[in-house]
Amino acid sequence: MTKQQRSTRPIQKLLIANRGEIACRIMRSAHQMGITCVAVFSNPDANMPFVKEADEAVHLFGETAGETYLKSDLIVQAAKQTNADAVHPGYGFLSENAAFAKACIDAGLIFVGPPPEAIQSMGSKLEAKQLMASNGVPVLLGKDVSNLNEQQLKEAVNEIGLPILIKATYGGGGRGMRIVHNYEELAVAVESAQREAQSAFGNPSVFLERYLESARHIEIQIFGDLYGNIVHLFERECSIQRHHQKIVEESPSTAVSPELREVMGKAAVTAGMTVGYVGAGTVEFMLASNDSSNDEFFFLEMNTRLQVEHPVTELITGLDLVKIQLLVAQGMPLSKEVFDASITGHAIETRLYAENPTKNWMGSMGTLHRFQFKPDKTNDQSILLRVDSGVEDGSVVSPYYDSMLAKVIAYAPTRIEAARVLENALGKAHIHGLATNRELLINILRCQDFLDGKTDTGFLERHSPEELSVNPLAEEATQLSAIAAALASQARNRVNSKVLSHLSSGWRNNPSEFQQISYETDQGRIDIKYRFERNRWTIYLAKQDASKSEDAPTPNLYEQKAVDLISCTATEVAFEYLGVRRSFDIHQVDSTTYVDSVLGAVELSELPRFPPPKRHIPPGSLIAPMPGVIIKVAVEQGETVETGQPLVIMEAMKMEHAIQAPAPGKVTDIYVEVNQQVSAGDIVATVVDLIEQLSNSSPR
């Protein structure tokens, strides 16, 4: 498209073709510029913050992305319906879809992004590699394998060499990516990557690429305008990843010297010049070695959109990248402050996900009862905490979309200070109702390798996510939090009492029997006996180890805890234990109590005095770990399976989850089929253990 075809009229009303955190982020800058904002939303998103913050919102009736946010005709129709004159695609969904960009322009809308031709040029990662190689940018060898049989796949791998990386040709964000270390994994990995690519990007094409182990993922932010100007705004390092999706990003990189920054920056600008780039874009490279003496790097891809991690660039440069996007889209040239940008200080971003890293990153869904970050009490203007989020207290996280809750970003004069500010903010946040990767992020920021700048793509292979996800003070935190929860429960009872509610919680005219309460926790069951006597509390606590089975519980022996109560309400408890005074914030939701303190966050489920009968689950039953859609049944009834063999594959929160055989056995029943929606706890199949089967069938 020629520059003359690009509109230079002011944007009056902007439709944001996205959801969640990025929709809120775009609105923030647009509203500051006096631009009216229109949101689009699906059924599950009807009550999300981005819908409330918009000036107008158009309902896209449907649940999944394929029914809503990926429907370009519905987006363009929504823009016309609300008289919007521009569309911002955000990231993900249709943000790198050239046909969508063209549809917007053909409808007379300003598309806040590069020309469709630039998107098309970089849309195919394979074609982008060829284009970059022809312009002198170093690339990794890649090969399209979308329509190859198993033998042809092996031949393709032989050309490149193991290990290899399977990547979605028309996608990003870690979707449709798999690492393959041996030929046995190859066919299944390609099939899985194709399914995920189709689901996320509407195109199943994948290709193979040489996989660099222990490399650095370095990306360069570029910006272009309608007048042929393209600049780079330095690098971001995004090496710490899970499922090939970034979870920690920072700028500047500890691995990039000023000389290397200049060379990589020029390569990124060359990439932008090659396709006539306009707007915000990111050129991604792999720095071949963690060794700072090796400056060999390779072009990976160009993201023709705003990146999730753009806040770190904003913080070190003082620029508002969304504002610049909107100005460029209106025909304004890049400003002097963009050309003169420099690096000041250090910024680190962590992606806070609703997921459990100890259970293969399984997504968590449901109601987020509380989501609050405590404000910084210091007045130091050189330190900044920023939380870009799309959720709030009461938000419901659905199974249909990505599980990211927020990006939490810290800025400080030095890297060590930024890490400490970020770690402290994550630790003090109140996040209730869903499992998250918060503890993992905190421990990464504390890890000596991270602090020393040793942050290559193998970081989470060297440092176990299971170990990094454990609070080292978990046992003490759980026990003291349980005591605080019990005391808060008593205070709540007194406040709600219709008789003598003014008396201190637990007050008795004469010593009485102990009151009792029991909780289920991650550390196991905790039983507490307590009573108020002679102006102090007497507390006994017994715990049952969570690692012990119900068939062989640990002895429930009570141990007296000497607790000197300082203050006690239904929402806050302070006491002294072993000479240390601490306060505990209490939040009760039904039978669950959330306790936050300096020791860490603890969730306690109060056990009923008379528990209901347990649900009977037949032996050998495999259950769905979360709500989702069955996308493949990999076995047949009567088939013999091995330990770890995938039986059923389901999709939830934009990720695939394989339900595997826990032991060698025979599939006796399959209860699901492809495209079936299942709920958490539904039985999907039954596998009879072969050893048990042989034992039961042997003559007696």
Of 24-33, 76-85, 189-198, 641-650, least confident by mean pLDDT is 189-198
181 vs 113: which has the higher pLDDT: 113
Q: Would you place residue 112 in the very low, low, confident or very high pLDDT band (cuts 50, 70, 90)?
A: very high
Q: In what order do the strands lie in the sheet with 665-670?
A: 621-623, 683-689, 665-670, 640-641
SS (H, E, C) 434-468: CCCCHHHHHHHHHCHHHHCCCCCCCHHHHCCHHHH
- Rounded to an integer, the average pLDDT of 102-113 is 97
pLDDT at 352 over 60: yes
- Rounded to an integer, the average pLDDT of 484-501 is 79
* pLDDT given for residue 507 in this prediction: 54
In the predicted model, what is the mean pLDDT of the chain? 89
pLDDT at 432 over 80: yes
* pLDDT given for residue 512 in this prediction: 64
pLDDT at 483 over 70: yes
- Rounded to an integer, the average pLDDT of 514-534 is 88
Of 284-293, 327-336, 583-592, least confident by mean pLDDT is 284-293
- Rounded to an integer, the average pLDDT of 565-591 is 95
pLDDT above 70: percentage of residues in the chain: 91
> Which tokens is 500 given?
């003598």
Burial of 260 (0-12, 13-18, 19+ CB in 10 A): middle
Q: What pLDDT digit, counting tens, does each position of 255-304 carry?
A: 999 999 999 999 999 999 999 999 999 999 999 865 555 688 999 889 99
Name which of 319, 318, 317, 275 is nearest 130 in CA terms: 275
pLDDT at 4 over 50: no
Q: What pLDDT digit, counting tens, does each position of 549-559 carry?
A: 555 555 578 89
Q: What pLDDT digit, counting tens, does each position of 204-238 carry?
A: 888 888 888 789 999 999 999 999 999 999 999 99
pLDDT at 625 over 90: no
- Rounded to an integer, the average pLDDT of 481-490 is 95
Q: What pLDDT digit, counting tens, does each position of 662-679 carry?
A: 889 999 999 999 989 888
Active-site residues: which are they? 305
Q: How far apart are CA 184 and CA 207, in angstroms?
A: 18
* pLDDT given for residue 293 in this prediction: 54
pTM, 2 dp: 0.87
Residue whose pair of structure tokens reads 């050998």 in the numeric block: 620
Q: Are 651 and 631 in contact (CB under 8 A)?
A: yes
20: left (phi over 0), alpha (psi -120 to 50) or beta: left
- Rounded to an integer, the average pLDDT of 181-205 is 81
Beta strands 563-568 and 580-589: pairing type? unpaired
274 vs 696: which has the higher pLDDT: 274
- Rounded to an integer, the average pLDDT of 128-133 is 85
Q: Structural domains in the chain? A: 3-112 (3.40.50.20), 141-210 (3.30.1490.20), 213-343 (3.30.470.20), 345-470 (3.30.470.20), 474-606 (3.30.700), 621-697 (2.40.50.100)
Q: Which range in 48-62, 296-310, 500-514 is most confidently predicted, on average pLDDT?
A: 48-62
585 - beta bridge partners? 572, 596
pLDDT at 652 over 90: no
